[in-house]
Amino acid sequence: MSQVKQQLIAAYLILINSTLLLSSGRGVEPVTPQASPEARALLKLMYDISGTYTLMGQHNYPNTKDRNSQFAARYIGEIPAIWSTDKGFAEDGDTDSYLTRPDIVQEAIRQHKLGSLVTICWHAVPPTADEPVTFRPQRGADSTKLEIDQDDVNLISKKYFIVEWGDDRVTEDTLKLDGTEQLSQFWSSPRVTTATWSQNYETLFVESKTTFTRGECKITTIYEKLQ
């Protein structure tokens, strides 16, 4: 075990068991009300090592315990400081099986005792479905189909989403071809879309900009000789 990881583990354990160190820090407060002492200690650790160390993590499938972490360790010579896994959602026998949750808990405890920072995510199924699911399209069907129509004024795009775990969905957008901004929502984030038709080059430019909490995502799609 490297000196860096030993120092990190020691700092993590000391912070958990010392309220003096917590009170003598930079006053970093978690956003979660009434956060546990362990959560506060972990947050302080993140701030304390910021700019000095980089923590590397490795995700592991629910049904494989720490196989990916061990695989990474063989190549880099160190066990990743962060052990990550998923709560599972798939059927029995799958690497993402939701039936392995009791084993996941035991492995998370074991990783914690080894000094790893533990993080667990969950691919929750939609309200219209029950576990297990695959989050993959129906067999033999395209996951999405796109139909585009255009006249002298508008661009009309219709998307068909064919899914296994609920009803098929259809979305339809109509954009003015003069660059007018159209406001919409991408999940819970605001999105602005514009469409511009170049008659000379028979080319359509569709630009979509979504504003998230931590930045913007801008996508430009070019359709040539659209009929």
Confidence tier at 175 by pLDDT (50, 70, 90): confident
* DSSP state string for the chain: --HHHHHHHHHHHHHHT-HHHHHTS-----SSTT--HHHHHHHHHHHHHTTT----EEEE-GGGTTHHHHHHHHHHSS--SEEEEE---B-TTSTTBGGGHHHHHHHHHHHHHHT-EEEEE--PPPTT--S----SPPTTS-SEEEEEEE-SSEEEEEEEE--SSS--EEEEEEEETB---EEEEETTEEEEEEEEEETTTTEEEEEEEEEETTEEEEEEEEEES--
Q: What is the per-residue pLDDT across 78-121, written as a single tens digit (0 to 9) for each?
A: 999 999 999 998 889 888 999 999 999 999 999 999 999 999 99
pLDDT on residue 49: 93
Q: Which of 68-77, 109-118, 198-207 is predicted with the least confidence, judged by mean pLDDT?
A: 198-207
In this prediction, residue 190 has a pLDDT band, given cuts at 50, 70 and 90, of confident
pLDDT of residue 25: 45
Comparison of pLDDT for 118 and 17, the residue scoring more: 118
Examine the pLDDT at 194 and tell me if it is beyond 50. yes
Q: What is the domain partition of the chain in residue ranges?
A: 3-121, 144-224
Q: Between residues 8 and 32, which one has the greater pLDDT?
A: 32
